[in-house]
Amino acid sequence: MGEALQAALTERYDALSTSLRDRVISFVLAAFDSLGNYRDSDAATFLERVLPTVLATQQRMGQITDAYLSAMISDMLGTATAAAGVELPEALRGVEPAEVYHRPFVTAYTALSQGKSYAEALSEARTRLLSITETDMQLARTHAARQSMERGGVKFFRRALRGPGNCALCTIASTQRYRVQNLMPIHPGCNCKPEPIIGNKDPGQVIDEALLREAHAAVAKEVGASDAGGRAPDYREVIITREHGEYGPLLAVRRHEFTGPDDVPSP
């Protein structure tokens, strides 16, 4: 079928994954907003209500990602390989979900202890909850994608930009190729998706020169310097991948510091 089928598969997957992501975010935020107060007893009620849905949605995201990539790889290779399923742990971050989803309450308590208003504390907590939920859905996607592509014999992939707008980190990263054995680097709020590159030959680090040139031009407007050869500024020295203690590979700006694997306490 070629490009027509692949375009249809992509459109369907994008619609399903976006709907799934949006619905679980709406559910989690509504559950948080409906709490009478935000003491420990309310936190326990919140966790009991939302965790089953969050965990089920992570598994569903894994299933549709596997189905999408299996169909894409099958069409690209001209084979008839069905999705075989993926195995996603509940603790995608290596931390128990109950601990992760209790963190917005800690954020609220901390804000109140700093003298912030009740409204400000809840706003900060809600923002953190949104980030946590978005990131967990993306982690489910990237973990499933790695399993599916490895099973399909794919060696390299690219990150496909999705959504009405994409940040500079994702735009520049989308011009690069990645190896399948590595999780796709993400950042909180990221909605890119892995897209297989068929073939055993390494296509090289930069796979979209035109988009990279556009990124250079856009950065030049902000910093007053650019170079189509990628040396002034050298984006490899600016936009990098750090290993985050929970997310795994994380897109970052070099000057930013993040928690590393050794900073996460053992259970």
Residue 239: predicted pLDDT: 57
Distance of alpha carbon 115 from the chain centroid: 33
| This prediction's pTM | 0.78
Cis peptide before 194 (omega within 30 of 0): no
Contact 184, 159 (CB under 8 A): yes
For 166, counting Cβ atoms within 10 Å of its Cβ (0-12 exposed, 13-18 middle, 19+ buried), the class is: middle
Q: What angle do CA 219, 224, 228 make, to 5 degrees?
A: 55
The token pair at 97 is: 């979900």
Residue 8: predicted pLDDT: 92
Report residue 109: phi and psi, to 5°. -60, -40
Report d(CA 59, CA 47) in Å as an integer.
18
The token pair at 256 is: 């930013």
Residue 259: predicted pLDDT: 42
Per-residue pLDDT of the chain (267 residues; tens, 9 = 90+): 578 888 899 899 999 999 999 999 999 999 999 998 899 999 999 999 999 999 999 999 999 999 999 999 998 888 776 677 889 999 988 899 999 999 999 999 999 999 999 999 999 999 999 999 999 998 999 999 999 998 888 888 888 877 655 666 777 777 888 888 877 767 667 778 888 888 777 767 776 777 777 766 665 665 555 444 444 444 444 555 666 666 666 666 554 443 443 443 343
